[in-house]
A = this chain, B = another copy of it.
Amino acid sequence: MRYLKPDPVPDELIERVLHAATCAPSPGNSQGWHFVVVDDPATKAPIAAAIEAAMAERVAAMPRPDRTMRLMLDGTAALIGALAQAPVIIFVTGGVVYPPAAPREQFTWSALYPASQNILLAARALGLGTTFTTLHMVAEPTVREVLGIPDDVRIAATIPLGWPAARFGPLRRTPVAEVAHRNHFTAAWPGAVGEAR
């Protein structure tokens, strides 16, 4: 949902969404996440400006070969242009020090992205709109400075949150049969079933 009303979102609902995030799995249940909820206009403004400066022209220039791409990129452009008006932006951050002796970056993403996805699903269940973005990546120094993110903390997702200003649309996805495989990467799904081959 890339179009949001400016109406505020009650703290209680934000907490329910964040609670869902904390229900995500993490390596050894390490839970190395920190959720920075931004609703102060003075905090949103410099972040939104930096993202817009880095992205607006780029998105405008991206090819829109079909209706699906046009809808997505027009929505992205609108989202970037109105980011400062999103009532809430949740930044999913953290650092998973796992295994303790030799932490690997993949473990951090394996916790933060499931938590991010839970935010999307919990918000949708409450009637709230979100978009899963990594927009911070185009303006990460500004985001880090404004939010005071420590150097050893990674930022996984930038999730605008608010009441939807458009209809939740259908998803457009490649069918399961084209991305699933049975017992080997080169085998088709459903393919032969175990012992029945």
Using a CB–CB cutoff of 8 Å, the interface residues on chain A facing chain B are 8, 11, 15, 18-19, 22-25, 27-29, 31, 33-41, 43, 68, 72, 93, 104, 106-107, 109-110, 112-114, 116-118, 120-121, 131-132, 134, 137, 147-150, 153, 156-157, 171-176, 179-186, 189-190, 193-195, 197
Q: List 19 A-B contacts (CB under 8 A).
A: A15-B176, A15-B180, A15-B190, A28-B72, A35-B179, A35-B181, A37-B181, A39-B183, A39-B193, A40-B182, A40-B197, A41-B194, A43-B184, A106-B109, A109-B113, A110-B134, A110-B157, A147-B183, A148-B185
A189 x B23 contact (CB < 8 A): no
Copies of the protein in its oligomer: 2
Name the B residues within 8 Å of A173 (CB-CB): 22-23, 31
Q: Which of A118, A134, A179 has the most CB of B within 10 A?
A: A179
A161 to chain B, nearest CB (A): 13
Q: Is the CB of B31 within 8 A of A181?
A: no
Report B-chain residues with C-beta under 8 Å of the C-beta of A15. Answer: 176, 180, 189-190
